Amino acid sequence: MSRYTGPVKKKLRRFGLIATEEVQKNYRTQARTTRPKRKSEYGIRLEEKQKIKFIYGVSERQFARYMKMAFRTKGQTGVRLLQLLETRLDRVLFLSGLVKTNRMARQFVSHGHVIVNDKKVTIPSYGLKKDDVITLKTKTLDNVQVLKQMKEENKDLPTWLKKKGPMIKVDRIPEREDIDLTLNEQLVVEYYSR
């Protein structure tokens, strides 16, 4: 299966990642008429897997590959999975605040606008390691959207990343408490362990 390219807000509402007043109103009126369906144990685990896939913008095949890598390494499998996903090049570019969305970060990388350790990288899933330095091409720094994003102060920069202008450095591999997402990765591990 390929990566999800449909309406983003629809998925965000489905996974409970945003809740607008309108959605809450609809929920109240709907609750009076019909009861929500109870999910099975399998359904709960499947939805958590789909939620993580959507957040990181990976396909089913890529996600299965990350799970295999997480199972093979020492430590907690769920935490290792999130570390692998969080240190993808497109994700780090998004977290740094140089681009607005994950999709935009993916496009920047695949179009050759990103340099890692003085080498051009065009693979969005490129796995970053400790002390890797990411920057944008000089030509890209003149882009109106990039200039606008750089002017906005990014207060939500993760502690495991260091940023100086358009340069980002991976200071360390993130721990579970550094990953600021409400995810239950253990459910995904259980889904793949069945």
Residue type, 191: Y
Which pLDDT band, with edges at 50, 70 and 90, does 165 fall under?
confident
> What is the per-residue pLDDT across 58-85, written as a single tens digit (0 to 9) for each?
999 999 999 999 999 888 899 999 999 9
Residues 6+ apart with CB under 8 A from 163: 96, 97, 154, 157, 169
Which pLDDT band, with edges at 50, 70 and 90, does 192 fall under?
confident
pLDDT at 65: 94
> What is the per-residue pLDDT across 27-54, written as a single tens digit (0 to 9) for each?
555 555 566 678 888 988 999 999 999 9
Angle, in degrees to the nearest 10, between helices 60-72 and 77-86: 130
> What is the per-residue pLDDT across 102-121, written as a single tens digit (0 to 9) for each?
888 999 999 999 999 999 99
Which token pair is 169?
A: 């450095």
pLDDT at 129 over 70: yes
Which pLDDT band, with edges at 50, 70 and 90, does 178 fall under?
confident
**CB-based contact 160:174 (threshold 8 Å):** yes
Mean predicted lDDT score pLDDT of the chain: 84
Residue type, 29: T
Nearest to 50 by CA among 40, 59, 41: 59
Q: Can you give the pTM of this predicted structure?
A: 0.80
pLDDT at 21: 57
Domains of the chain: 8-84+184-193 (1.10.1050.10), 86-176 (3.10.290.10)
What is the H or E stretch that residue 64 is in? Answer: helix 60-72
pLDDT at 8: 79
pLDDT at 36: 66
pLDDT at 155: 64
Question: What are the C-alpha distances in Å from 152 to residues 30, 98, 115, 156?
Answer: 40, 9, 22, 11
State how far the Cα of 126 lies from the Cα of 25, in Å rounded to an integer: 42
Which pLDDT band, with edges at 50, 70 and 90, does 11 fall under?
confident
Q: DSSP string covering 113-150, please? A: -EEETTEE---TTPBP-TT-EEEE-TTGGG-HHHHHHH
**CB-based contact 89:116 (threshold 8 Å):** yes
